[in-house]
């Protein structure tokens, strides 16, 4: 089964105050999961429901999941709540409305404040993140489209809903975005954008070198590190092209995704796109050798009798070397190297042979580092190798952000 990964691992959410509006759409039940996930990532989440949202999912559900009071009534008789519509938005680092009904979009676009949630939207000084969800006919209606345009002109973010089947069975655009997209938008709104306008190529995962129609040579790379980097680049504002080898994990949603199998296909894909990039991050574990000859039919044991089967391997193209020799001086190139011994010594040799701006090296025998783990511990060699920075053990999501912040300072 393909594992769905919430790339970014909640980076930037810890201790943030998130005001979470829920309106009366069928997707209100999904909001319960989305809200809980933000809380699990360390955010304080305050739910505010419209009267109609409470007909779909009870305030108690949201209150229990957030471990906070769920707000509903603008005219709460409790004196301490009288100015909640002004005070609560003041504290919010981020204000999301998920799902956002057509009705709520219409009211917010026109400054109507006839319940607690829409009053809070009007009182909020920042940009509100709306996640519309509705029947495709309602979404396409020019009235709704005009309201969305108005909201964007007012500086709010209205996330395009997904396309597919909606609750009533109709097909089209109107589904609430998947959690991964939702999380990206929320995290993104909380992070600075040092990579805005930059084009970044990330390679990730292993390659597969075929022996015959059923067998191949590959390696243990899961693609996790590269996917986290692609995600971090996207969150920091870059336009990301991701070239991935075969992975079990589903990749993050990026501007351009190219899937390849072999080292040769990876090389051709990289060669094609890398000249247009500002930054190239090579995390893919590309095979160094590939079978010289690929059998068209399955290799049978009987063909070899008692003999051992010898497979002759030929060298593949060294992609990092190719890039380091054909780069422009304006491009920032980052290579990765995984070692099992003499980490820095081997990394220095690699850097001398393949001059890149940053070489991120890790000893895969160290606890918590290397393939298929959620954490990593790396050292970074810069430029000529004279400067080395050792980073502590951290999540790959955190590391991705750390690396990309360093890359942005080289641009």
Ligand X SMILES: Cc1cc2nc3c(=O)[nH]c(=O)nc-3n(C[C@H](O)[C@H](O)[C@H](O)COP(=O)(O)O)c2cc1C
- Give the torsion sign (CA, 333, 334, 336, 341): positive
- Residue 298 labeled ligand binder: yes
Q: Is 363 annotated as a binding residue?
A: no
Question: Is 113 among the residues that bind ligand X (CB under 6 A)?
Answer: no
Report if residue 147 touches ligand X, rule: CB under 6 A.
no
Task: Classify residue 69 as exposed, middle or buried by CB count within 10 Å of its CB (0-12, 13-18, 19+).
Answer: middle
**Contact characters 55-94, ligand X, x per CB under 6 A:** ----------------------------------------
Residue with token string 């089964």: 1
What is the distance of C-alpha 226 from the center of its chain? 10
Helix (H) or strand (E) holding 361: strand 358-363
Q: 202 to each of 6, 199, 251, 254, 364, how far by Cα in Å? A: 18, 10, 12, 10, 21
Instruction: Confirm or deny that 153 is annotated as ligand binding.
Output: no
Alpha-carbon separation of residue 364 from 70, 253, 258, 375 (angstroms): 47, 28, 27, 11
CB of 80 to ligand X, least distance (A): 25
Residue 89 Cβ, how far from ligand X at the closest point, in Å? 18
Token reading at 301: 């044991």
Residue 61 vs 331, nearer CB to ligand X: 61
56 marked among binding-site residues: no
Considering only residues 9, 37, 103, 290, which one is a binding residue for ligand X as defined by CB under 6 A?
Answer: 103
By rule CB under 6 A, what string of x and - marks binding of each residue 13-52 to ligand X?
A: ----------xxxxx----------------------x-x
Q: What would the two tokens of residue 94 be? A: 């981020």
Residue 168 catalytic? yes
User: From the list 9, 37, 61, 101, which residue makes contact with ligand X (rule: CB under 6 A)?
Assistant: 101
Rounded CA-CA distance 256/273 in Å is: 11
Number of chain positions touching ligand X (CB under 6 A): 15
Which of 94, 98, 168, 233 is the catalytic position? 168
State the catalytic residues. 168
Q: From the annotation, which residues make up the binding site for CTP?
A: 288, 298, 336, 350, 354
Give me the residues that bind ligand X (CB under 6 A), please.
23-27, 50, 52-53, 101-104, 133-134, 138
């Amino acid at each position: 089964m393909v594992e769905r990964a919430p790339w970014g691992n909640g980076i930037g959410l810890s201790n943030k105050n998130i005001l979470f509006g829920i309106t009366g759409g069928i997707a209100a039940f999904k909001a319960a999961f989305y809200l809980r996930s933000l809380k699990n990532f360390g955010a304080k989440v305050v739910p505010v429901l419209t009267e109609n949202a409470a007909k779909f999912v009870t305030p108690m559900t949201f209150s229990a999941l957030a471990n906070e009071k769920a707000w509903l009534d603008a005219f709460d008789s409790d004196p301490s709540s009288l100015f909640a519509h002004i005070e609560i938005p003041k504290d919010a680092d981020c204000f999301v409305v998920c799902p956002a009904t057509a009705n709520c979009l219409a009211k917010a676009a026109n400054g109507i404040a006839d319940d607690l949630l829409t009053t809070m939207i009007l009182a909020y000084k920042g940009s509100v993140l709306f996640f519309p969800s509705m029947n495709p006919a309602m979404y396409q209606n020019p009235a709704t489209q005009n309201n969305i345009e108005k909201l964007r002109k007012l500086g709010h973010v209205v996330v395009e809903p997904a396309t597919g089947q909606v609750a009533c069975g109709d097909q089209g655009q109107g589904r609430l975005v998947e959690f991964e997209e939702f999380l990206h938008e929320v995290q993104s709104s909380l992070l600075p954008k040092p990579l805005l306008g930059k084009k970044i190529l990330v390679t990730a995962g292993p390659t597969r070198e075929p022996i015959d129609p059923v067998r191949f040579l590959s390696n243990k790379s899961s693609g996790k590190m590269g996917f986290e980097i692609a995600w971090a680049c996207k969150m920091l504002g870059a336009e990301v092209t991701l070239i991935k080898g075969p992975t079990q994990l589903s990749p993050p949603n990026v501007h351009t995704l190219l899937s390849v199998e072999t080292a040769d296909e990876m090389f051709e894909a990289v060669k094609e796109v890398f000249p247009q990039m500002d930054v190239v991050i090579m995390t893919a574990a590309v095979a160094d050798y590939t079978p010289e000859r690929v059998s068209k039919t399955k290799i049978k044991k009987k063909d070899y009798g008692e003999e051992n089967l010898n497979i002759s391997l030929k060298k593949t193209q060294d992609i990092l070397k190719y890039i380091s020799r054909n780069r422009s001086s304006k491009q920032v190139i980052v290579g990765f190297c995984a070692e099992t011994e003499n980490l820095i010594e081997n990394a220095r040799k690699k850097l001398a042979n393949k001059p890149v701006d940053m070489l991120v090296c890790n000893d895969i025998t160290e606890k918590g580092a290397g393939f298929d783990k959620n954490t990593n511990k790396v050292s970074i060699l810069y430029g000529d190798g004279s400067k080395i920075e050792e980073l502590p053990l951290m999540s790959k999501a955190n590391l991705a952000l750390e690396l990309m912040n360093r890359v942005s300072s080289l641009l």
